[in-house]
Chain A
Amino acid sequence: MASPSLMDTLFQRTLDDIIKGLRHQQAGESAFISKVVEEIRREIKSTDLHTKSIALQKLTYLNSIYFIDMSWAAFHAIECISSPNFSHKKVGYLAISMSFNESTSVILLITNQLRKDLKSNNEFEVSLALDCLSRIGTADLCRDLTPEVFTLLSSSKVFVRKKAIGVVLRVFGKYPDAVRVCFKRLVECLDGTDPQIVSAVVGVFCELASKDPRSYLPLAPEFYRILVDSRNNWVLIKVLKIFAKLAPLEPRLAKRVVEPICEHMRRTGAKSLMFECIRTVVTSFTDYESAVKLSVAKIRDFLVDDDPNLKYLGLHALSIIAPNHLWAVLENKEVVIKSLSDDDPNVKLESLRLVVAMVSESNVVEICRVLVNYSLKSDPEFCNEILGSILSKCCQNVYEIIVDFDWYVSLLGEMSRIPHCQKGEEIENQLIDIGMRVKDVRPELVRVGRDLLIDPALLGNSFLHRILSAAAWVCGEYVEFSRKPVELVEALLQPRTSLLPPSIRTVYIQSAFKILIFCLHSYLLQRENIADDMASEMLGLKSQGECSGSSALVAGKAPARQEQDEGFNPRDSNKSYEDLSIINEGDVSALLEKGFTHESIVNLLNLIELALGPLSGSPDVEVQERSKNVLGFVDLIKQEISNGFVSERASKIIDMVHDAFTEELGPVSVNAQEKVPIPDGLMLKESLADLDAICGNVQLPSSISFSMGSPFGESVGASVSIPQSKEESEPSSESTSLLAEHRKRHGLYYLPSEKNETLANDYPPANDPKSSDNTNDDAQDLVKLADKSLLPKRRSNHAKPRPVVVKLDEGDVVPFIAKKSDTRDDLLSDAVRDILLGNVAKTASSQSIISDKSSSKRKGKEKLNVDLPESREILGVEKPDLGNPSSRRSKHRSHGKEKSRKSPEKKNSDEIGDGEKEKQKSRHRHGRHKTKQRAEGPLNVAAQTPVIPDFLL
């Protein structure tokens, strides 16, 4: 590259030239840019700072608008800021603040220049340096420049001072120890008379308090004064934000502050301040009835305003308040529902949230109707938002708000048919879940499932496949409620099912199999009945036979199961009586559908054979295996029932498979494992220790030898596995440890054990359908179970109209949740303990200083205490709160801050009381702790530790 010449200098293109050039380029923009960058690279090397700065300015422009890399020019930017010429400096600083970041290697080179400019007499140079520091300040820079910033905090020029205050935020963030130096001055600025300064400093405190509000409680009196006195909306908004954070921590403070806030609300005409007041009240002052009432009234003004912004914010405020004061939403019901059809997606979303919040047991039907209608009219995205929120609201707390499950199930069916519906997975989960939990709804569920299955059009929509899978499962599982099982089989085997993914096809095949078994079984029963009795009595007997058939099935199960089923059976048989009586009234064709003739059975078998035949060569193993199973079964039965005669063997097989399928599937609780009693003599902990001792010697060498691949290693590996297999045969003997391990590892397999215990003589394949279903969507089933772990046994006999919903056993949930939070608490309390120790240390040290010399107290601090009578009260309350571990944030930098801030507490030291002695004792320990903590931080500032008190007082 040529070095810059006089020609370059004289004929350098200015920024304007570049911009004009770019504007004239239509297509070749990038070529032009790269040409310009080439020029810049040459020009920027010029020794003439003027040329350099213009080149830099051009580069900055390209960087900010076209994102051209300018990190290579970092050093040139530094050269520019060291120019004595203000315009060069300015260009340089702009370039630096645009392009420097933590990883810029030359960043340390600017420390001295920044320091020089911070000390400059020209306030604009100072301001440039401050701006720059606020943008790029790294931990090192902030540490090195803290003294300069501190000096500027008391600058006589307001212009400089307010910028310095703004920079403090960055400095604190990067270099927490700066707090010790600057905090006091910052607090003094709160007292300032200049509104600019107060505004800036309140802004800083607002940001600081949002991180760790508790530390700033002692400053509450100052903020209170500003809240009452200030008429500057910018400042008031910030102060309100601070109080929104502080009030929940200190009820007495909230009581004091709420009235001034309401006063502002009544007085102000500025919407921004008004909104901030409203938001403060609805987030942090929800206990103050009158304040809430006032703000709800103001919210209403917002809602009816023409300005979409206010409308949106009004809705937003309502959604904040909804959990605590639902009445506020109900009062504005109309506006909210109307907003559902607003043009603005944001407004729609907010109002949807509110509408859903209003849903309760009494209005769920109406509101869901409204929502579904809206969803039909809206764009796909919002449509799915609506459906998603209906689904999640309705399944809350195990369908708490649903009374009429028949309605809900048909709503699910309806939702599935909404063209844009993409909530297949959720609907699938709920269909199956409801089927398992709510017995009374099963007939309706089967009807809904049938309608879905039978519609060939739905098979083409891949979003619905999951729902179809659930429908197929439901129809197979609860086929006894179906009027026309054969029709279901036809639906399940229709040609368009080839559109389904294999995992769902397997569900279809399995369901078809279940239905086939049901048909065969009913056919057998029917034949028996005919044999027993004469055709004239057939109808009544048949229903009875069915009834007895089902109770016979139940009888095969454990007593516990039978009990549950008894509550259910009467209804069931009633139903079938009803069905039959309807049929009796003359619908003969319906009867034919239910009753099976030999011919219809053979037809069914043929149909299945025909449909599944091709699938036995399916490339998907699951599909292939299942269809082969079914085909094998069909083949067998076909041979046995030829000529209208059913062999003994066939009916036995059918009975057994039928028994297996009618075994009711109950969801298994995720923590079912915990409910399995630990066998006597199984000592988990002890034996695990043994395990270590036993395996310690063996495993180490084995792993080594494995890596070497020596035959010896293999033999060791075998010897390790042997005890395990042995242990299985004699679990309670010596190797209980291995059993424990085994159980731990294969815990999953033990989950059903409880069930097996109660359902004594189950035929092995009983679990077959379940496990096969489970394997289909393992993950999804897990999720389902995790969400809704429940005990299949518990069933309350409420006389309520609402059907029984199998629910979580309370005992089940609580330990589960408690456990979870326990572990989190542990982590938290650990961190909190650290912080608390830090606090104690801090108070202790400040106390010692105080007691040393009362004269060392400076005016500022005394002012804090004296001017503000409330401070004592607040502080007194705050102290015990410090002991509350849960609310402390473990911010590293909060230490220093707290320290300096806490010093005003000294007057209250008497009140502190009990913890005192301990604290004083721990002072030494405490100091050590502090240094350790600091060392953990990004910078090692241990050397500064002793200096702290000086700055403070």
Chain B
Amino acid sequence: MLLSCRWFSIEYWYLDSKPTENMIHFVLLISRQGKVRLTKWYSPYSQKERTKVIRELSGVILSRGPKLCNFVEWRGYKVVYKRYASLYFCMCIDQDDNELEVLEIIHHYVEILDRYFGSVCELDLIFNFHKAYYILDELLIAGELQESSKKTVARLIAAQDSLVESAKEQASSISNIIAQATK
């Protein structure tokens, strides 16, 4: 127990030395069973740190009761989380950032997802993980909120989707494949 504490503090020091340029350091989507559904890192974390962060945070957040506040103090940062159905949306911010604002961003993201998938559920995000990323990219850039209008995000995503679709159709036509293979 003690040992793990000590180790914890060393690690904390390490994380703290990171340059923190962004408002949001990372975004996590974790299912109630502790499965990761989406991770987006705006500050540099090594693969090892990422796994550690996720393990730690899912332990802390999943064990919190439903009637508690949505903020967790963690290693000198604040993690704002909110549960939607079976999914926990978590965003990590600095101590002096506005927790309520981040809650709104989370809600905003969920609403956009909901609009895009039509009452979004966990399965949608499992099978369309890349789309969840694309939508997040429209919402946040470099850890900052860049688009506060749901409509605009929806429009942008739709436009890109159609672009992708037309490109795909062209690429995956049988003739194209055969041409590729017999080249």
A residues near B (Cβ < 8 Å) are 6, 9-10, 15-16, 19, 23, 47-50, 57, 60-61, 64-65, 67, 69, 85-88, 90-91, 94, 101-102, 122, 124, 130-131, 134-135, 159, 162-163, 166-167, 169-170, 173, 196, 199-200, 203-204, 206-207, 210, 232, 234, 237, 241, 271-272, 275-276, 279, 308-309, 311-313, 343-344, 346-347, 349
**Complex contact B98–A163 (CB within 8 A):** no
B85 to chain A, nearest CB (A): 18
Give B153-183 as 1s and 0s: 1 = Cβ < 8 Å from A's Cβ atoms.
0001001100110011011100011001101
A-B pairs with beta carbons under 8 Å apart, 15 shown: A23-B126, A48-B181, A50-B171, A64-B38, A65-B36, A67-B47, A85-B170, A124-B163, A166-B141, A169-B21, A170-B21, A234-B145, A275-B99, A343-B67, A343-B68
**Complex contact B98–A237 (CB within 8 A):** yes
Q: Which of B8-16, B112-120, B130-138 contacts A (4 or more CB under 8 A)?
A: B130-138
- The residues of A that contact B56 with a CB separation of less than 8 Å are none
SS class, residues of chain A in contact with chain B: helix
**Complex contact A166–B142 (CB within 8 A):** yes
For B, the interface residue count at a CB cutoff of 8 angstroms equals: 60
Most buried by B among A88, A203, A279: A203
CA distance A15 to B168 in the complex (A): 15
- The residues of B that contact A90 with a CB separation of less than 8 Å are 134, 160, 164
**Complex contact B50–A67 (CB within 8 A):** yes
CA distance A834 to B158 in the complex (A): 52
- The residues of A that contact B147 with a CB separation of less than 8 Å are 162, 196
B183 to chain A, nearest CB (A): 8
**Complex contact A131–B21 (CB within 8 A):** no
Q: Does B86 contact A (CB under 8 A)?
A: no
**Complex contact B101–A272 (CB within 8 A):** yes
A138 to chain B, nearest CB (A): 11
CA distance A86 to B166 in the complex (A): 9
**Complex contact A167–B141 (CB within 8 A):** yes
CA distance A311 to B148 in the complex (A): 27
B179 to chain A, nearest CB (A): 10
CA distance A347 to B159 in the complex (A): 45
> Looking at the complex, which one of A234, A241, A349 makes contact with B148 (CB distance below 8 Å)?
A234
CA distance A842 to B171 in the complex (A): 56
**Complex contact B42–A135 (CB within 8 A):** yes
Task: Give B59-103 interface residues, CB cut-off 8 Å to A.
Answer: 65, 67-73, 96, 98-101, 103
- The residues of A that contact B137 with a CB separation of less than 8 Å are 131
A264 to chain B, nearest CB (A): 14
Known: A102-B44, A166-B144, A200-B146. A312 touches B104 (CB 8 A): no
- The residues of A that contact B44 with a CB separation of less than 8 Å are 101-102
- The residues of B that contact A69 with a CB separation of less than 8 Å are 47
Q: Does B150 contact A (CB under 8 A)?
A: no
- The residues of A that contact B106 with a CB separation of less than 8 Å are none
> Looking at the complex, which one of B39, B68, B134, B170 makes contact with A346 (CB distance below 8 Å)?
B68
**Complex contact A234–B69 (CB within 8 A):** no
The residue of chain A having its C-beta at the shortest distance from the C-beta of B159 within the complex is A124
**Complex contact B146–A162 (CB within 8 A):** yes
**Complex contact B22–A9 (CB within 8 A):** no
**Complex contact B141–A159 (CB within 8 A):** no
**Complex contact A61–B101 (CB within 8 A):** no
- The residues of B that contact A49 with a CB separation of less than 8 Å are 171
A277 to chain B, nearest CB (A): 11
Most buried by A among B42, B51, B68, B73: B68
A121 to chain B, nearest CB (A): 13
Besides A64-B129, A91-B130, A207-B144, 7 other CB < 8 A contacts? A9-B181, A130-B141, A162-B146, A207-B22, A272-B100, A343-B65, A346-B72
Give B23-47 as 1s and 0s: 1 = Cβ < 8 Å from A's Cβ atoms.
1000000000001111100101011
